Amino acid sequence: MQLALVNDTINSASALQVGLNNVTGSSKGIFQLGVFNDASSSDCFQLGLVNINDKGFLPVCLLINF
């Protein structure tokens, strides 16, 4: 679990990221809760104002992306 203003993981797995800015690399099974969430190369559930996930429902989505 990561709880901070800015959370960043490159290649490590983390189950939960809670903060203003959440960024993850090549991990799976991540839940991101924040204002800005970026999981460009991950399978992830995102809840926040701006969500970026190339493998998600939409590449860029507001409020929720999976």
Token pair in block for residue 59: 């590449």
pLDDT tens sequence across 14-54: 789 999 999 988 777 789 999 999 987 777 899 999 999 88
Domain total of the chain: 1
The pLDDT value given to residue 15 = 83
Q: Which residue has the higher pLDDT, 56 or 7?
A: 7
Please identify which residue in the block is written with the tokens 């991101």: 32
pLDDT tens sequence across 56-66: 778 999 999 98
Residue 8 has pLDDT above 70, yes or no: yes
pTM for the model stands at: 0.87
Q: Where are the beta strands (DSSP E) in the chain?
A: 2-3, 6-9, 16-24, 28-38, 43-52, 60-65
Q: What range defines the domain where residue 10 resides?
A: 2-65
